[in-house]
Structures are given as C-alpha cells and as structure tokens.
Structure 1
Amino acid sequence: MYTHIAEAVKRPDLISLQPDVVCLRFETMKIYSALGAVRHLLESGTVKPGDTLVDSSSGIYAHALALACHRYGMKCHIVGSTTVDRTLRAQLEILGVTLEQVRPSQNLRLDQELRVRRIAEILEENPSYHWMRQYHDGIHYHGYRDVAGAIARELPDGPLALVGGVGSGASTGAIATYLRDAGRDVSLVGVQPFGSVTFGSEHVPDPDMIIAGIGSAIEFRNVRHDLYDRIHWVNFDCALSGAVELLRSSGIFAGLSTGAAYLATQWERRRDASRTYVFIAADTGHRYVESAYARHAEAEHIDALKPHEITSLDELRHPWSTTSWSGLRAPAPRTADDSVTRAGG
C-alpha cells in the first residue's frame, strides 16, 4: 500500500507493443525526478520541511514538484509557461502552490527567458527560497535509478535502444547512464523539436511547436550530449502523426513528445533490428486534446514519413531530420546574426 499519491503515480508501465518494441508509459514522468531531488535535499540538510522550493516549468515538472512538496511537507512556488492549462492550474492551486504564469510569448526563447528572469527576482525578494534548477542541477538524475532498475528486471538480457525526448537531460540521460553502469549495452536516441538550441536546431524554427518540454531555447547544463548516439528533430506535424498512430494501433493516449519518440523508434528499428527498443511516454495526451488531437484528421500514416539523414547541422530541415551523434559534445552556439541568416535561407 502506498502512503502518498506521488509514490503511486510515479511508477511507469512497461507495455510490449511488439516483441522488440516496448513503451515505458508514465502518467507524469518527472515525479521521479522531483521526488528524488527533494528527498536528496532533505537528507543532505540543504532544505528542511516547511521551506519553499521554487522553479520554472512548462507543465509536467510543475505538477511533479507540487506533489513532491506535498509529500514532504514543503511549500512550492512555480513560474509557469502559458502552456500550464486550466486543469493543471486548478490542481496546483488546490495543492497550495503559488503559481505565476508569464505573459504570452511568440517564441519559446522569450517564454523561457521571462521565466528565468522572474525566478531571479523571486530569489532576490526571498533569499530563503531554494531554487530547484531542474535544468542544471544533477540531483535530478537520482530519481531515475529505480526506472533503470525496472527496465533491467523486466526486459531480457541483450542490447537495448532507449528513445525519448531530451528535455532537461535528466530522464533519458539518467536512465541510459544507470543501465550502462550496470553493464547493459544501451544505444541512446534523443528526440528534439526544431528551434531548440540543445542540439543546434535554433536556426530552424517551428511555428507550431508546442512540445517545449523536449527542447530548449536556452542552455540546459543537465544535458550530457556525449551520452547520445542518435538524434531526431521532429516537427509538430510529424509528432502529431506519431501520437495519433500510437493511439490508433495500441490504445496508448500520450503527449506529442511520445508521438515523436514512437516515430523515431520505428525508423531506428528499421535501421537496426538487433536491439529491443524502449520509447518513453512521458505524460498522457489530455493537455494536447485541443491543440493537437482535435486535428487528428490531418495526421499522416507514419509509413509515409521518412527523415532526412544529415551529416551537418546546416542540413537540418522540416519536417524530420536525423543524424548519428555518436557521443559528440554540445554544438557550438550560433550568433544572433548567424541564426537570422540561416533561418532566412
């Protein structure tokens, strides 16, 4: 029996879709990250029950941190993106979270910069608050050790490929790291939206991009680029097609990042059938109903979709590009002038 809802909700389901394709389905994945981080902070004496934890979120982490704070008797202050919808906002308010949402922005970079700027103001006004720094603090890796252990126990010995959104770097990076440390052969495939600086696609905007949780317009220091073997950049239309096909074929109702991961999984499986593929479904599809699933008639059959295999970031293009990253370091940042020039080209 669980003593708190956070402990129950955090546990993922491993669902076999094909003998060599498994969906790692979460109701909300970042609860693992938030619970592990808060527990570590309490055990180390960095914070104590009753303290206020503050961070920025586009949605999933806000819910996770709220539940972790509720579990451990902490106060929670969230600076949220405009993607925090009415359903989540109501839950956060009832859980006692102080929620601020930044003003609507025309692009992801401005949205994230506004949130980070507001965090700085809050910390200056309230120096006793602890900034969780989900994008930069390695404590967010700790919580995923149990996920790696579940995969190791449930799946037979043999090489794996882990496919999922890169995001802050703590989920795919941590799970792959713990599996590799245990001796498992793991190929790590990261999924990115266009417009994200994390793997150098900031010069290729995607105006319909609403999968902000898997990419970033600012540097995330928790992303360890050299962990990744392959990278896929997927736009909104392809992510929608993947999500709709996943729901149609398996009944799994998940977010857009899952649709992108499912699409990448099917392609990687065609390239290399020697591995068991585990793709991450980080959240459910409920918050994407109006913005994405309502447009399901526009979805293409995924067998008709094919990525552009590139050898240089200058070759990136819609709707879907992929490359062998092969453990390279972070790409060099582009200057503002360079980004404008390339985007215009």
Structure 2
Amino acid sequence: MDEHIADAIGRPDLIHLDEGLVCLRFESMKVVSAMAAVRHLLATGAVRPGDTLLDSSSGIYAYALALACHRYGMRCHIVGSTTVDHTLRTQLAVLGAEFEQVDPSDDLKLDQRRRVARIGEILARHPEYHWMRQYHDDIHYLGYRAIADRVHQETGTGPLSVVGGVGSGASTGSLARRLRENSPGVGLIGVQPFGSVTFGSDRVPDPDIIIAGIGSSIPFANVDHSLYDTLHWLGFGSALAGSVDLLRRYAVFAGLSTGAAYLTARWERNQDPGRTFVFIAADTGHRYTDSVFARHHTAQQADALTPRTVAALDDLAHPWSRMDWNRAPAPQPAGGPPLKTNSTERPTR
C-alpha cells in the first residue's frame, strides 16, 4: 500500500500498443524525479525537513516538487512560466506551495530568462533556500533507474530503443544509462521542438509554439548529448497529429510532447520492425484539451507524415526532421556547461 499519493502518481503504466510499440505512460512524469531528488537531499543532509525548496517550472515539475515537499515536510517556492494554468495554480495553493508567475510573454526565451533571473533574486534575499536546479543538476536522473529496470524486465532481451522528449535530459538520459548497463546496444531517440538550443534547432523557430517541457531556449547543463543515437525535431502541427492519432487509435489521452514521441516511435518502428520502441508519455492530455484535442478535426493524418532525414543542423526544416546523432557531443554553442557527473556527492551543512 502506498503511503502518499505521490508514490502512486509516480508509478507509470507500461502499455503494449502494437507489435514493437510500447507506451511508458505517466500521470505526471517528474513526480518520480522530484521525489527521488528530495529523498537524496534529505539522506545526505543537504536539506532538512522544514527547509524551502525553490525552482522554476513550465508546468509538471511545479506539481512534482509541490507533492515531494508535501510528502517530506518541506516548504516549496515555484517561479512559474506563463504556461502554468489556473487548475495547476489552484492545486499548488492548496498544497501550500508559494507560487509566482512571470509576466506574460509570447517569447519562450524571454519567459525562461525572466524565471532564471527571478530565481537569482530570491536566492540573494533567501540564501538558505535550496535551488533544485532541475535543468542543471543530474540528481534528477536518480528517480528513473527503477523504471528502467522495470522496462528491462517487461520488454525482454530483444533489441530495444527508448523514445522521448529531451527536456532536461533526466528521463530519457537516465533510462538509457541504466538500460545500457545490461544491454549496451539499447538505442536512445530524442524528440525536440524546433526553436530549441539543446540540439541546435534554435535557427528554425516554430511559428506556432515551442512545445513546453521538451525543448529550451537556454542551455540545460544536465543534458548528456552523447547518450543520443538519433534526434527528431517536430513542429506543433505534427505533434498535434500524433496526440490525436494516439487517442483515436489506442485511447491514450496524453499531452503534446507524447504526440511527438509517439509519431517518432511509430515511424522508427516501421523502419526497424524487429526492434521494440518504448516511448514516453509524460503527462495526461487534460491541459491540452482546448489547444490540441478541440482541434482534432483539423489534425493531419499520422500515416501521411514522414520526417525529412538531414545530415547537418543547417538542413533542419519544418514540419519534421530527423538526424543521426551517433552519440556525438553537444553542438556549439548550445551545450552550455559540461554535465556534472558527481552531483549526487553533495556537501552537508
């Protein structure tokens, strides 16, 4: 029996959709990441019960950190993106989290920079707060190791690839690292929006939106680029088509990043039918009801969509591009500071 709702929310479903196609479905993916990070910080003495944990979020990490703080008796302070909706703000308030939202902006780069700047202001005033650094600290890799073990146990020993939005790198990166401890040949396919600096698509903006959570307009220091074999970049319209097709075909109601990962996994599976592709569904589709699912009648047919394979970042183009990354290092100058590989060795205070 679970001792807290966060334990149940953090446990994903593994769903066999079709031959070679498996969905790793979370209710809210970053709960498992935040819970493991907070447990580790408490165990190492980096924080104590009652301390305030601080971070920035475009949505699901805010909820995850608020749940982890509720579970372990911590205070929570969130600097939120303009994408955080009324429903989530209300939940955060009832959970006791302090939430402040940056000024509205149509520019994600400006939104992210404002949030980072605000974090700095808060820390200057409250140096006793602990900044969780979800975009910079590989402590957030810890929570996905047990999930990787479950994927390994339930998918067998055949050829396997993981497909998912890159985001901060924690979910896809951690899953691949752990799975490769048993099978070095496990593939990792990252999904990015156009306009993200992480893998160099910032030269190709998306005229609609940058899909929140899987890309970034500022460098993320805990993305290990050398883990990824293949990258796919999808625009909003392609991701919408994937989300709608996933619901229509398999009754899985999930978010926009899931639609992009599903479309990618389907295409890759069709090219390599002897391999199993596990794609990540990071959250449910509820916050996309109006922006995505209400537009289902305008969605393109998923079977009609195919990526353009490119050999260089300069060749990226809408609506969907694919590139063999071959576990290469970060593009310059998008890589940011090197990934910290020993951040779990944190000083006590």
- TM-score tier, shorter chain, comes to over 0.9
Structure 1 runs of 4+ off > 3 angstroms? none
Asked if 2 retains the 8 angstrom alpha-carbon contact of 1:158 and 1:184, the reply is no
Q: CA deviation at 1:106?
A: 2.1
Q: For the residues of structure 2 that align with 1:162 and 1:243, how far apart are their CA atoms? A: 18
- Which runs of 5 or more residues in structure 2 are unaligned? 335-349
2:214 aligned with 1:214: yes
Higher relative contact order (CA 8 A, sep 6+): 2
Query: For residue 63 of structure 1, what is the aligned residue in structure 2?
Result: 63
Percent sequence identity over matched residues? 64
Alignment of 1:264-279 (within 5 A): 264-279=264-279
> Residue in 1 aligned with 2:83?
83
How far, CA to CA, are the matches of 2:47 and 2:183 in structure 1?
A: 35
One-letter amino acid of the structure 1 residue matched with residue 235 of structure 2? N
Which residue is 2:51 aligned to? Answer: 51
Instruction: Give the match for residue 3 of structure 1.
Output: 3
Q: Please say if 1:248 is aligned against 2:248.
A: yes
Letter of the 1:283 partner, please give it: D
Structure-1-length-normalised TM-score: 0.95
Look up the match of 2:99: 99
The RMSD of aligned alpha carbons is 0.9
Q: Which residue identity does 2:283 align to in structure 1? A: D
- Inter-partner Cα distance in structure 2 for 1:155 and 1:266: 17
Aligned-residue offset at 1:181: 1.3
TM-score (norm 2): 0.94
Distance 1:136 1:38 in 2: 15
**2:144 partner letter:** Y
In the alignment, the residues of structure 2 paired with residue 299 and residue 206 of structure 1 have an alpha-carbon distance, to the nearest angstrom, of 17
Aligned to 2:238: 238
* 1:197-251 deviation per Cα after TM superposition (whole angstroms, max 9, x unaligned): 0000001111312522000001101100010000000000000000000000000
Which residue matches 1:305? 305
- Specify the code of the residue in structure 2 equivalent to 1:123: L
| Letter matched to residue 266 of structure 2 | Q
Residues 160, 278 of structure 1: 8 Å contact kept: yes
CA contact (8 A) 1:56 1:80 kept: yes
Q: Secondary structure at the match of 2:23?
A: strand
Amino acid at match of 1:188: L
Structure 1, residues 258-310: CA drift from partner, whole Å, max 9, x if none?
00001101111122122111000000000011111111111011111111110
Alignment of 1:1-345 (within 5 A): 1-183=1-183, 185-333=185-333
SS at match of 1:17: strand
Instruction: Note the alpha carbon deviations across 1:8-44, whole angstroms, 9 max, x for none.
Output: 1100000011121100000000011100100000000
**2:215 counterpart letter in structure 1:** G
Displacement of 1:183 after TM fit?
2.9
Q: Which amino acid counterpart does residue 275 of structure 1 have in structure 2?
A: R
Aligned length: 334
Deviation at 1:182, TM superposition (A): 2.5
